[in-house]
Amino acid sequence: MTYFQDLSRQAPEGPSFGPVENVSRRGLLKGVTAAGGLVLAASVLPRRAMAAYVTGAGDMPHGVVTDPRVFVSIAPDGIVTIVAHRSEMGTGVRTGLPMIVADEMGADWARVRIVQAPGDEAKYGNQDTDGSRSTRHYLIPMREVGASARTMLETAAAQRWKVPVSEVRAGVHEVVHDGSGRRLGFGELAADAAVLKVPAAETLRLKDPKDFRYIGKGTVSITDLHDITTGRAGYGADVRLPGMKYVVIARPPVVGGKLVSFDDAEAKQVPGVERVMEVRGWPWPSKFQPLGGVAVIARNTGAAIKGRNALKVVWDDGANAKYDSVAYRKELEAAVRAPGLVVRNDGDAEAALKGASTVVVGEYYLPHIAHASMEPPVATALWTDGKIEVWAPVQSPGGTREDLAKTLEISADNVTVSPTLLGGGFGRKSKCDFALEAALLARELKAPVRVQWTREDDLHHDFLHTVSAERIEAGLDKSGKVVAWRHRSAAPSIGSTFAAGATHQIPIELGMGLIDLPFAIANVRCENPEAAAHTRIGWFRSVSNIPRAFAVQSMVAEIAHATGRDPKEVLLELIGPARIVPFSASVEKPWNYGEPVDSYPIDTGRLRGVVELAAEKAGWGRKLPEGHGLGIAVHRSFVSYIATVVEVAVDKKGVVTIPRVDTAVDCGTFVNPERIYSQMEGAAIMGLSIAKLGEVSFKDGRVRQSNYDDYPVVRIDEAPRVTNTYIVPAAAGTPPSGVGEPGVPPFAPALCNAIFAATGKRIRNLPIRDQLAV
């Protein structure tokens, strides 16, 4: 049995995602499986002496795997290959998780190679790359993998030298005998280590953090950096197979619609078009199943697109044909002006509002937004003898594999999902509809198939971020103190994508910025009026935190204005003193991002900390030039704490520019600070797009926008001139928390608060677009 096997024959030259190299990738993994190695899958990660906290990792479907034989291979020449089991869409986890293994193991990063795991959660543990939880769930497990590998190498060396194990220790890519100075490289030890037992978890020693070479340092570049700069990095559309057909699909423009008929006479005349056929769709809601429509199959993508443009298609638009964003907005706004389902109720906010000296009311509307990641959805599939192989940029390769098996009605053993790099995800690529489309066609055509979505397809058939109306009423007493807070939130729910007829938000949506409000207010009431969905709703980077943080943090500034006080002071006063805030007992199903409250309580001390830090670094209170303003916002989400200060300059025509952004991040123990900076820089841009530009609207049931001209996103000449990020140093043993999403929610309210400070104009409806134009 060899799990530290010889990879020198199998490791692919160049990028791990180049043109498909079936043998190398499958060879590695088959070798590991065929070796008969036991996979010690833990359904619950036991608390250990060295891990002072428990995360929700063990509760996720398929839990956590820490068997080093699953993740680590060492070749005789010393090259260490580490498996990345989470998808790479720009957050850096494909580099970061193996980096943790390498550091703990004592491997030299220069001699580490990374291979991407296929979708196989029984083998690798949970692979859902979403929820900003890869690092926080896998810091300890990946350290255990590295510690196991290190221990086995040390044991092998000790046996070879016939000395006690206590006298040897791993250095950098080698094991050293303290007494004699003898040393053996990892490559030389691999075969001996391969036949040893995996150490029991309780016996593992973890490195002292002061000995980390990579973790926490920010000195390791992403593994695909060189390939990205030379065009060799492999994304979803870069997989090429001999005889492959290129397909685009015309899908029903209205969710719930279906094909009536089509005329393909002209389409078939287009040079390069080979076939036109109907493809199956499932009625909504059907999880991630394809919408169906008409597929145009051609020799290249350009011909397929041209062929589709030549189609004439007749649709039955179905029950959502009248979905109209203007009308629906009025309904949402009316809904939040009336009582709704009570989801949190502390004290008696109704009475306190009635008795208040002043009531400040804010109504905030945020439209649907689209993910619009640079890489539109795409998938490649190959059907051979009852087995399907799919290459796709998917965030959930394990879930994709399961859905392929169910859709094709074959065993999951006959399904291989190889995730490519993702050209952005933001949550869109957690839904594997595009992979299902490719697989179904590959089986039908008995030829390899690439299904390419165009940008128009991406905008027309997204699982959109929901549309919401948020109404907050804050009751102030005579001294201006907030004594009552009533927040009504109406938005069609993500639940509607999985349950027909869902009209209320599900616990996770309520838990993102509504019922978890951490303010020191005695009377808090949260209500959720009903809102039926008429399109596919999905999760978009930071999800319901977007409208909630916008409403709550804007309201804080509105209260400050109403009472003639500094917004930062009012914010700190509302947060109250540093303390742990328990979830209100009145909340039926509190949701803490899937994490145990013991490990990740709501800690207002940390919330205050990032407010103070961001304000200090931004120079809050400094004298500003004419037309400038500062705005501040803070939000806890994905168990991290982020505060953002935005400085705007608004000219006489109402054009807003952003000289500066300062963001303070408290994400606990951190692994890859360089990627935290990039995530926060990117979140500011994403937040700016949401605040300023992003809107998907419906008329006659269909999406009105088509491409980046009518769905604009921020470009470099609109970006803040400077974005500074400050990471709060974590006390030892502080659990790590999320980084991918939490930077997004505070940006829009900080921006609009800054605009108010500069102009006196309060933005309550996004996007800003021309609202400030003079």
Partner 1 sequence: MRSTLASLALLAAAAMPAAAQTSAPTGPGAAAQARPSRGPEQTSVPNAAPAATTSRTTAAKNQDPTIKQMNEAERLKIEKFGK
Partner 2 sequence: MIKVKVNGEERSWDGDPSLPLLWFLRDELGLVGTKFGCGQALCGACTVHVAGTAARSCITAVSDVDGQEVVTIEGLHPQGDHPVQKAWRELNVPQCGFCQAGQIMQAASLLAETKNPSDDEIRGGMAGNICRCGCYQRIEAAVRVAATGT
> Could you say whether residue 439 binds partner 1 (CB under 8 A)?
no
Residues in the interface with partner 2 (CB under 8 A) total 69
Nearest approach in angstroms of CB 774 to partner 2 is 23
User: What does the block give as tokens for 149?
Assistant: 């590998």
- Contacted entry of partner 2, partner 1, none for residue 335, CB cut-off 5 to 8 Å set by kind: partner 1
> Could you say whether residue 771 binds partner 1 (CB under 8 A)?
no
- Binding partner 1 by CB under 8 A: which of 37, 285, 475, 518? 285
What does the angle CA 357 – CA 359 – CA 363 come to, to the nearest 5 degrees?
175
Q: Which of 16, 67, 21, 10 is nearest to 232 (CA)?
A: 16
Residue 617: what residue type? K
- Contacted entry of partner 2, partner 1, none for residue 495, CB cut-off 5 to 8 Å set by kind: partner 1
> Could you say whether residue 759 binds partner 1 (CB under 8 A)?
no
- Binding mask 228-257 vs partner 2 (x if CB under 8 A, - otherwise)? xxxxxxxx-xx-x-----x-----------
3-state SS, 89-127, equals: CCCCHHHHHHHHHHHHHCCCHHHEEEEECCCCHHHHECC
Contact positions with partner 2 (CB under 8 A) in 590-649: none
> Could you say whether residue 494 binds partner 1 (CB under 8 A)?
yes
3-state secondary structure of 330: helix
Closer residue to partner 2 in complex, CB, 429/608: 429
Contact positions with partner 2 (CB under 8 A) in 394-423: 421-423
Which one of 479-487, 641-649, 691-699, 720-728 is the stretch in contact with partner 2 (CB under 8 A)? 720-728
- Binding partner 1 by CB under 8 A: which of 109, 246, 583, 593? 593
How far is Cα of residue 331 from the mean position of the Cα atoms in its chain? 31
> Could you say whether residue 253 binds partner 1 (CB under 8 A)?
yes
Contact positions with partner 2 (CB under 8 A) in 80-139: 88-92
Identify the bridge partners of residue 391 per DSSP, sorted by sequence position.
Answer: 380, 418
Whether the CB-CB separation of 604 and 578 falls below 8 Å is answered with yes
- Binding partner 1 by CB under 8 A: which of 17, 365, 539, 747? 539
3-state secondary structure of 734: coil
Nearest approach in angstroms of CB 236 to partner 2 is 9
Nearest approach in angstroms of CB 677 to partner 2 is 9
Place of tokens 């309780």: 202
User: What does the block give as tokens for 342?
Assistant: 């009570």
Residues in the interface with partner 1 (CB under 8 A) total 91
The pair phi, psi for residue 477, each rounded to 5°, is -85, -175
Residue 168: what residue type? V
Whether the CB-CB separation of 16 and 116 falls below 8 Å is answered with yes
Closer residue to partner 2 in complex, CB, 418/452: 452
Cis check: omega of the bond before 285, within 30 degrees of 0:
yes
Place of tokens 């009751």: 475
User: What does the block give as tokens for 687?
Assistant: 């937040």
> Could you say whether residue 722 binds partner 2 (CB under 8 A)?
yes
Query: Could you give the CA distance from residue 611 to residue 643 in angstroms, rounded to a whole number?
Result: 5
- Binding partner 1 by CB under 8 A: which of 109, 284, 726, 747? 284
Whether the CB-CB separation of 615 and 632 falls below 8 Å is answered with yes
Contacts of 189 (CB under 8 A, 6+ apart): 74, 153, 156, 157, 160, 175
User: What does the block give as tokens for 297?
Assistant: 């199959």
Whether the CB-CB separation of 12 and 3 falls below 8 Å is answered with no
Nearest approach in angstroms of CB 460 to partner 2 is 14
Q: Where are the beta strands (DSSP E) in 117-187?
A: 168-170, 174-177, 183-185
- Contacted entry of partner 2, partner 1, none for residue 412, CB cut-off 5 to 8 Å set by kind: none
- Contacted entry of partner 2, partner 1, none for residue 684, CB cut-off 5 to 8 Å set by kind: partner 2
> Could you say whether residue 738 binds partner 2 (CB under 8 A)?
no
> Could you say whether residue 272 binds partner 2 (CB under 8 A)?
yes
Contacts of 166 (CB under 8 A, 6+ apart): none
- Binding partner 1 by CB under 8 A: which of 59, 348, 477, 616? 59
> Could you say whether residue 624 binds partner 1 (CB under 8 A)?
no
- Binding partner 2 by CB under 8 A: which of 5, 66, 430, 452? 452
Nearest approach in angstroms of CB 713 to partner 1 is 9
Nearest approach in angstroms of CB 646 to partner 2 is 14
Interface residues with partner 2 (CB under 8 A) are: 19, 88-92, 221-222, 224-226, 228-235, 237-238, 240, 246, 270-272, 299-303, 305-306, 372-376, 421-426, 452, 454-455, 674, 678-679, 681-686, 707-709, 713-717, 719-723
